Amino acid sequence: SQELEQSPQSLIVQEGKNLTINCTSSKTLYGLYWYKQKYGEGLIFLMMLQKGGEEKSHEKITAKLDEKKQQSSLHITASQPSHAGIYLCGADSLDSNYQLIWGAGTKLIIKP
């Protein structure tokens, strides 16, 4: 069955620094979604990528889907305390028409 692996599991970054989170799929990605979650709250949609090579940006967050469509990266430029949280990637499952599969999440801590 299809799996999503996120790396790193956790990240501590000095405020102002750049960082990258990766999401790798065991199968070709059909639709890839990035979400952010504050502890104990719901997931906030960031962006969706579908086409190989596609790149989208939202404020200081940029996500890209590689050409082979098996990996996505999320890049944050000049990190701020508001970027702290858990980042999750999700993808339309190739094993089921009506289900998203999820990575385990990356916990991001921003040091002031």
Partner 1 sequence: KAGVTQTPRYLIKTRGQQVTLSCSPISGHRSVSWYQQTPGQGLQFLFEYFSETQRNKGNFPGRFSGRQFSNSRSEMNVSTLELGDSALYLCASRPLGSRVSTDTQYFGPGTRLTVL
Chain residues that interact with partner 1, rule: CB under 8 A: 30-31, 33, 35, 40-45, 48, 50, 88, 90, 92-94, 96-102, 104-105
Closest distance between partner 1 and the C-beta of residue 73, in Å?
Answer: 19
Q: How far is Cα 41 from Cα 51, in angstroms, rounded to an integer?
A: 30
Comparing CB distances to partner 1, the nearer of 14 and 96 is 96
Q: Which is nearer to partner 1, 12 or 100 (CB)?
A: 100
| 61: β partners | 58, 76
Nearest approach, Cβ of residue 55 and partner 1 (Å): 17
User: Residue 79 has which token pair?
Assistant: 């990190």
Burial pattern 85-95, b for ≥16 Cβ within 10 A else e, equals bbbbbbbbbee
